[in-house]
Amino acid sequence: DQQVKQNSPSLSVQEGRISILNCDYTNSMFDYFLWYKKYPAEGPTFLISISSIKDKNEDGRFTVFLNKSAKHLSLHIVPSQPGDSAVYFCAAMGETSGSRLTFGEGTQLTVNP
């Protein structure tokens, strides 16, 4: 039973345009959500997070939106830059999971110059 799903394995956008990466979850006990970014040959690095008490969190070019009723979150990157090309993982955690993160499959974002 996969509790966090990223249905798009890949996304390609033009430099300067908006990138929207989507994530769905099934476990209603999740109350904190994170996005990680991974370059080849490196480990994932933390990008942005959101608590379930909020519906939006913004950090520079990156904004995460949370729709609790739909159990859906999305990451918006605007404007997209070629250096944003990476795999983006959505992750979730809740009180009952301790510190353990449950990850999605990842979405490969390619930003074309």
Of 63, 89, 109, 111, the one binding other proteins by CB under 8 A: 89
Q: How far lies 81's CA from each of 61, 90, 108, 110, in Å? A: 10, 20, 14, 9
Residue 62 engages other proteins in binding (rule: CB under 8 A) = no
Of 19, 64, 104, 109, the one binding other proteins by CB under 8 A: 104
> What's the rounded Cα separation, in Å, for the pair 113 and 79?
12
Residue 73 engages other proteins in binding (rule: CB under 8 A) = no
Indicate the DSSP class of residue 54.
-
Q: What is the DSSP string of 7-43?
A: --SEEEEETTS-EEEEEEE--TTEEEEEEEEE-TTS-
Show the binding pattern over residues 2-31: x = contacts other proteins (CB under 8 A), - = does not: x-x----x----------------------
Binding site for other proteins (CB under 8 A): 2, 4, 9, 32, 34, 36, 41-46, 49, 89, 91, 93, 98-106
